[in-house]
Amino acid sequence: MSVYGDHTHYDTLEVDEAASQDIIDSAYQYLCHKWHPSRHPEGRSHGERKLVELHRAYRVISKPRARAEYDAWLAEQRTAGGGGKAVFGDTPSALMPVPPPEKLSKESPPEADFSEVIQSISQPTALETAGYADPSASFELPEGYEYAGLWERAAALFADGLVVWLLNFLLGFVVGFLARVLGQPFPQESVFWFVGAAAGSIYYTLGWSSKKMATPGKAAMGIEVRTEAFGRLSPDRAFLRTLVWSIGALFFFVTYITQPFTKKRQCLHDMAVRSVVLRNQNARRSPLLLGAIIFLSILSVTGILAAIALPTYQEYTQKAKVASAYLELEAAMRAVNEHDRRGGYEPANLKQVGFYPSKASKAYSGPTIYSDEESFFIHVDFDFGGRLAVFPFRNNQNGLRWECYGYNMNARVLPAACQLFEEGR
């Protein structure tokens, strides 16, 4: 049997056995970058070996259950060896010892090859605050990466904006539909603002802290959001970045003003959480994703144009219908006035005053008298649900004067004579 002293997984990661998980994560991140083969071109194989050792140690003590079993196994070995030294069985190399397979739970994954080790480096880390690196230290860019430019980030921002807009549209539809089904009043605009803000925050936070380190828009452009040590943002840092970015977006995206002038092409919201945005030069941009973004762009532009043009067109057509109907109402009012001057009784219908509506229109019903004990008026009903009504009143000369009002319609489509009464309504 060979004795390797006190050399354990903790020694490999250069941490104390009582170290917190944040310290272990940070140490692993820092040492992986320190021994990355790209930083040691003259001794690449040695760097690869160090990374495998680090990864082997980290995969055991980064998981609470596996770490507890490993600590128990260490205590057992030290007790067997005496003097506080850990006794390990013969091994083919000087790599860190691990407990026999039967002593580890399924939580401890199997060995990984070098490519898997490289992929594992992008883990959430508290590197800048754990004391393992100067927060101002500058790490070398990973091979095949460069800092993303402003226009690339703007394109990704536009793509993500379309996705968030679509999500908010669907959420708004669902909220409105549920309110209708439950018989509740339609939600106020503030409710939709809150739902939209919450959906956007979740979208960006989850995207930036995900394994891909990118939202769909950024992934389509081949760019990623990382820490300054090129690790993965933790959810809390991603949320803080979202918060600062959102505040800047309210002021015409002012946080982007520093991007062209900083060495790492950082915006103010990047500086706030010590993040960088990198472009993967080898990333394959998904044709399907890009196609979806182009489709959403066209859909968005079409929707915006429709949102502007459709109400204007509807208002124009309604105004034309109301103007035509008011001409008939005026003719009906003149007939009632003449009937009243001759001392006629209150008519039950317009035929009694000698008025016959013009040919029926699909856009509105012909003028009709409504009369009961309390009220008397002439009205026209439109196909869009509106109603135009005129009410007679006695003037000082004992004649009739008429007041016009619109119901369930925009005041802008009313004739000028009716708008005067609407203002004082």
pLDDT value at position 289?
Answer: 64
130 band by pLDDT with thresholds 50, 70 and 90: very low
Residue 38 has pLDDT above 50, yes or no: yes
The structure's pTM equals 0.48
- 176-229: pLDDT as tens digits: 788 878 877 777 777 778 888 999 999 999 999 998 999 988 988 899 999 887
On the question of pLDDT at 422 being above 60, the answer is no
Quick check: 13 and 27 in contact, CB under 8 A?
yes
Query: Could you tell me what percent of the chain has a pLDDT over 90?
Result: 21
Whether the predicted pLDDT of 143 surpasses 90: no
Domains identified in the chain and CATH numbers: 2-129 (1.10.287.110), 145-285 (no CATH), 313-423 (3.30.700.10)
Average pLDDT, the chain: 79
Q: Is the pLDDT of residue 93 over 50?
A: no
Alpha carbon distance 329, 389 (integer Å): 9
The phi and psi torsions of 342 (rounded to 5 degrees) equal -80, 0
What is the per-residue pLDDT across 238-273, written as a single tens digit (0 to 9) for each?
999 999 999 999 998 999 999 999 999 999 999 999
62 vs 261, higher pLDDT: 261
Q: Is the pLDDT of residue 131 over 50?
A: no
Residue 46's pLDDT band, with cuts at 50, 70 and 90, is confident
What the block records as the tokens of 308 is: 């502007």
pLDDT score for 293: 66
Q: Give the H or E element holding residue 391.
A: strand 387-394
pLDDT in tens, 6-33: 678 898 898 888 888 888 888 888 888 7
Angle, vertex CA 220, rays to CA 215 and CA 226, nearest 5: 45
- Find the mean pLDDT for residues 140-144: 79
Q: Which CA distances in Å does 9 have to 115, 246, 281, 342?
A: 21, 42, 35, 111
Q: What is the pLDDT of residue 6?
A: 61
Q: Tell me the three state secondary structure of residue 378.
A: strand
Q: What is the pLDDT of residue 290?
A: 64
Residue 123 binned pLDDT confidence (cut-offs 50, 70, 90): very low
| pLDDT at 100 exceeding the cut of 70 | no
State the pLDDT at residue 122: 42
